Amino acid sequence: MRLRTSSATGEGEGATRLRTSAATVGRVVRLLTSAATAATVVALEARAAEAWVESFDRDPMQSGWEVVGDASLFAWNEGAKSLAVTWDSSRTNSYFLKRLASPVTAADDFAFGFGLKLSEHAVGTTPGKSGTFQIALGLIRVADASDPGFQRGVFLRSRNLVEWTWFGAQPDGAISASLSPAVVPADGRLPWGFSDSYLELETGVQYGFDLTYTATNRTLRISMTADGTPLPTPAPIVLPRNFTGFRVDALSINSYSDVGQDPLYAGSVRAVGTVDDLRWNGPGAAVGVVRFEGNEVVRRVVTGTRVGWRYWLESSGDLKAWEKVSEEVAGTGREVVLQDATKGLPPERFYRVGGRLP
């Protein structure tokens, strides 16, 4: 069997470009491969996981970060190697975010962390909204969080969140300061995953927070430090049995608007601080390591998968028109085999793997 080949510079024998795509990701990942034999093609590059640290030693806008909303709330400080952030609930919902390699769900293990130092913090800063309000950082689904109807301060008007949140104490003492991380499902309805730990954040102190989610027991754990000294561990969040699931696709610093609240309980906040050492460790691309196995009679593609996703094989003769040539199979977290079911296989074909979240 002779495989049709292509490269960045043109056609050639011995190297074929497999293309994998995930329908819900909306982009194509190119895997450059080489043929050990005519029947086997082994991928040289693939992403089974995604891990990075943003240290802000260079302009973050040049490394995949973007702003949705009010850009004046976020400013890179080159000298301090940090990001200056203003959480101001009098402004529109605003996010400083980096999109993940592919959507993450409750079936995935992941972790994120960051450093935080506040220089200012006050609640009740919007006239008529004297209560407390949160500052936040965590995982969002960009399409939901940027929807005009998304209102974090209004029950049932936010969805698809896994986030660290902190509420400062009200001046009248009616509500104490609390660390209140939350996991909000895709439909926004109860039950949520949440936990409250009474914690007062002081200005001028360098805090560190790490949040780790384990899919097997559906638990989100938090660890904290203050100027390098470990703090007591807050209660973990264990997702209830009837929690309906989440789907998130970006790590984001979140400044939420205080609009839409019940006037009797409305709160507001303005806080200024720096965020640094933003860390992410997650499942990475939905399509893992890919390799081709086959001959003139049987053609199979073996691909790494993720639990919760469904996968299929597509074929093309010209890299333009693609057709589905296998049944969909459920991801297992391990490799699965996808076989071209076409009768009378043509001698030259390209293959790619598709994937979607149901």
Residue range(s) defining the domain that contains residue 295:
17-48+286-356
Residue 185 has pLDDT above 50, yes or no: yes
**Span 81-93, average pLDDT:** 98
Q: Let me know if residue 214 belongs to a domain.
A: yes
Could you identify the residue written with the tokens 């094989």? 313
At residue 286 the predicted structure's pLDDT band, cuts being 50, 70 and 90, is confident
**Span 113-139, average pLDDT:** 97
In terms of domains, do 121 and 221 share one? yes
In terms of domains, do 90 and 221 share one? yes
Residue 110 has pLDDT above 90, yes or no: yes
**End-of-domain residue from the set 238, 253, 282:** 282
In terms of domains, do 30 and 116 share one? no
In terms of domains, do 137 and 259 share one? yes
In terms of domains, do 115 and 201 share one? yes
**Span 325-350, average pLDDT:** 86
Q: CB of 136 within 8 A of CB of 181?
A: no
Residue percentage of the chain with pLDDT more than 70: 86
Q: Let me know if residue 292 belongs to a domain.
A: yes
In angstroms, the CA 164 to CA 154 distance is 17
CATH number at residue 180: 2.60.120.200
Model pLDDT for residues 238-269, shown as the tens digit of each residue: 999 999 999 999 999 999 999 999 999 999 99
In angstroms, the CA 311 to CA 174 distance is 52
Q: Let me know if residue 10 belongs to a domain.
A: no
Q: CB of 121 within 8 A of CB of 269?
A: yes
How high is the pLDDT of residue 20? 36
Residue 210 has pLDDT above 70, yes or no: yes
For residue 131, give the DSSP letter. B
Residue 3 has pLDDT above 70, yes or no: no
At residue 48 the predicted structure's pLDDT band, cuts being 50, 70 and 90, is low
Range with the poorest average pLDDT among 287-291, 302-306, 315-319: 287-291
Q: Let me know if residue 7 belongs to a domain.
A: no
Q: CB of 194 within 8 A of CB of 180?
A: yes
Residue 215 has pLDDT above 80, yes or no: yes
| Residue-averaged pLDDT of the chain | 85
**Span 279-294, average pLDDT:** 85
Residue 290 has pLDDT above 90, yes or no: no
In angstroms, the CA 2 to CA 347 distance is 7
At residue 10 the predicted structure's pLDDT band, cuts being 50, 70 and 90, is very low
In terms of domains, do 166 and 312 share one? no
CA-nearest of 21, 9, 26 to 351 is: 21
Residue percentage of the chain with pLDDT more than 90: 66
pTM: 0.80
Range with the poorest average pLDDT among 2-11, 93-102, 110-119: 2-11
144 or 345: which carries more pLDDT confidence? 144
Quickly count: other Cβ atoms within 10 Å of residue 3's Cβ. Answer: 20
In terms of domains, do 263 and 335 share one? no
In terms of domains, do 267 and 351 share one? no
Residue 196 has pLDDT above 80, yes or no: yes
How high is the pLDDT of residue 267? 97
How high is the pLDDT of residue 152? 96
Residue 100 has pLDDT above 70, yes or no: yes
Residue 9 has pLDDT above 50, yes or no: no
**Span 206-222, average pLDDT:** 97
Tokens of residue 198, six digits? 């009474």
**End-of-domain residue from the set 252, 282, 312:** 282
How high is the pLDDT of residue 358? 82
In terms of domains, do 127 and 217 share one? yes
Residue 66 has pLDDT above 50, yes or no: yes
Q: Let me know if residue 8 belongs to a domain.
A: no
Q: Let me know if residue 2 belongs to a domain.
A: no
In terms of domains, do 244 and 270 share one? yes
CA-nearest of 185, 97, 87, 110 to 142 is: 97
Residue 186 has pLDDT above 80, yes or no: yes
In terms of domains, do 128 and 181 share one? yes
**End-of-domain residue from the set 226, 247, 282:** 282
Q: Let me know if residue 11 belongs to a domain.
A: no
Tokens of residue 231, six digits? 């703090």
Q: Let me know if residue 118 belongs to a domain.
A: yes
CATH number at residue 326: 2.60.40
Residue 304 has pLDDT above 60, yes or no: yes
Residue 18 has pLDDT above 80, yes or no: no
In terms of domains, do 104 and 237 share one? yes
H or E stretch covering 143? helix 142-145
How high is the pLDDT of residue 37? 25
Q: How many domains does one find in the chain?
A: 2
